[in-house]
Every structure is written in structure tokens, then in C-alpha cells.
Structure 1
Amino acid sequence: MAWIVLIGSGVLEAVWATALGETKGFKRPGPTTVFVVALVLSMAGLAYAMQTLPTGTAYAVWVGIGAVLTVVATAVRGQDRLTPVRAALLAGLIGCVIGLKVVS
């Protein structure tokens, strides 16, 4: 159960990170609300997962999922470029996250 919550929290990390960029310095109420709600839920899920998972592993998985999804989301929206080198590096990051799960 902790792994499922952790994965969901990682997805919410990408949501709040993307929403943060859209707040324009917290001047736009819609994205600001999405940011705050996703941030609170993401942190709560991470805290829950850390009750049973090693802190380092949980944090690395959470950050890895959030980072990869944030880059993909911004690339899909045309705000960032996804070059072959960046895609390979993201694939390496995904591999490392999977590796942490396997050895845990």
C-alpha cells in the first residue's frame, strides 16, 4: 500500500511543480489553488509512505517520478524540449527508480 501511495504522491509532485510555474508568482488563483492542494496531498502521501519505507528510497522515488513527469508534461505542452539525450537521461532516472524498488 505504501508504494501505491508513494507513486501517487510522485504524480502529485509533478502536478504541483507544473502548477507552480503557472501561478505567475501566486497571482493567478486557479493554478495557485491547484498548487497548494497538490502540494499538501503530495507531502501527506510521502509522509505516509515514509512510515514503512526507508526514507532515502521513498524520497528518491518520489523525486524521480515527479521530475520525469514534470519534464514530460512541459515537453508535451511545448514549454520544454525533449531531445534524445534528455530522453535517455530520463530513461536512466526511471531505471534507477525501478532499481531502488527492486532492491528494497
Structure 2
Amino acid sequence: MSWILLTLAGIFEIGWAVGLKYTEGFTRPLPTALTAFSMLISVVLLGLAVKSLPMGTAYAVWTGIGTVGTVILSIFLFAEPATALRLGCIALIVTGIVGLKFVG
């Protein structure tokens, strides 16, 4: 169950990271509220997950999910470059997340 909570926390982290772009410097009320809500849910779920997962592992996986998801969505939503080197780096992060899941 903790891994599910952690995965959901990572998904909400993606939501708030991408949401920051839509807030336009926190000048748009609805995107700002949704981004703040995503931040809150993400941290609460992370806090619940670390009750039974090692903190270092949980934090690394949480940020890894957020990083990979944000980069992938940014490629599609904001036309950021999808170079081979960039995709290779994403693959390294995913490998690290999977590795931590199996040793944590």
C-alpha cells in the first residue's frame, strides 16, 4: 500500500510541477489553486508513505517520478526538445527508481 501511496504522491508532484507553468507566476487563480492543491496532496501522500518506507528511498522515488513525468509532459505540452541524450537521461532515472523499488 505504501508504494501505491508513493506512486500517487509522485503523480501529484507531476501535476503541481506542470501546473506551475499554467499559473503564470501565480497570477491566474484557478491554476494557482489547483497547483497548490496538488502540492498539498503530494506531500501528504509522501508523508503517509514514509510511515513504512525508508525516507531516503521514498524521497528519491517521489522526486524521480516527478522529474520523469514532468520532463515527458513538458515534451508534449510545451514542445521541449526530446533529444536522444535527454531521453537517455530519463531512462537512467527510471532505472534508478526501479532499482530503489527492488532494494527498498
Does TM, normalized by the shorter one, top 0.5? yes
> Residue in 1 aligned with 2:19?
19
Counterpart Cα distance in 2 of 1:88 and 1:101: 20
Q: Could you tell me the TM-score, scaled by structure 2's length?
A: 0.97
Counterpart Cα distance in 1 of 2:31 and 2:88: 30
Counterpart Cα distance in 2 of 1:9 and 1:83: 28
> Residue in 1 aligned with 2:68?
68
Q: State the 1:72 CA deviation.
A: 0.5
Give deviations 1:41-96, integer Å, cap 9, x for gaps.
Answer: 00000000011000000000000000000000010113411111100110110000
- Which stretches in structure 1 are left out of the alignment for 5+ residues? none
> Residue in 2 aligned with 1:34?
34
Give deviations 1:1-35, integer Å, cap 9, x for gaps.
Answer: 00000001001101000101211111001210110
Q: Give the AA of the match of 1:63.
A: T
> Residue in 2 aligned with 1:49?
49
Q: Give the AA of the match of 1:41.
A: I
- Which stretches in structure 2 are left out of the alignment for 5+ residues? none
Counterpart Cα distance in 2 of 1:34 and 1:74: 18
> Residue in 2 aligned with 1:7?
7
| Aligned pairs for 1:67-86 within 5 A | 67-86=67-86
> Residue in 2 aligned with 1:90?
90
Indicate the percent of aligned positions where both proteins have the same amino acid: 39
